[in-house]
Amino acid sequence: MAITSVWVNEEDCTACGLCEETCPEVFEVGEVAHVKDGVDLNIYETEIKEAADGCPAEAIGYEEE
């Protein structure tokens, strides 16, 4: 399955930095985390799933097709 989109629920994000540490190619953390524009998500599928599973706030979501 291919990841078609990734998002961070900014209301739940605590900006802990775990997602950026896990996959800096996709995630960037400032006041809250966000997904970088223009990234080929499928290259980082494993890391995105790891970041989502490890997020203590459960703020990261993704969609697969």
Residue 49: pLDDT over 90? yes
**CATH assignment at residue 34:** 3.30.70.20
Angstrom CA distances, 39 to 4, 5, 11, 19, 56, stand at 11, 10, 23, 15, 24
Residue-level pLDDT at 57: 98
Tens digits of residue pLDDT in 24-38: 999 999 999 999 999
Residue-level pLDDT at 1: 80
Distance, CA of 53 to CA of 65 (rounded, Å): 19
Number of folded domains in the chain?
1
Q: Which domain holds residue 21?
A: 3-64
Percentages helix, strand, coil for the chain, rounded to the nearest 5? 30, 25, 45
Terminal-to-terminal C-alpha distance of the chain: 6
Percent of residues, the chain, with pLDDT higher than 70: 100
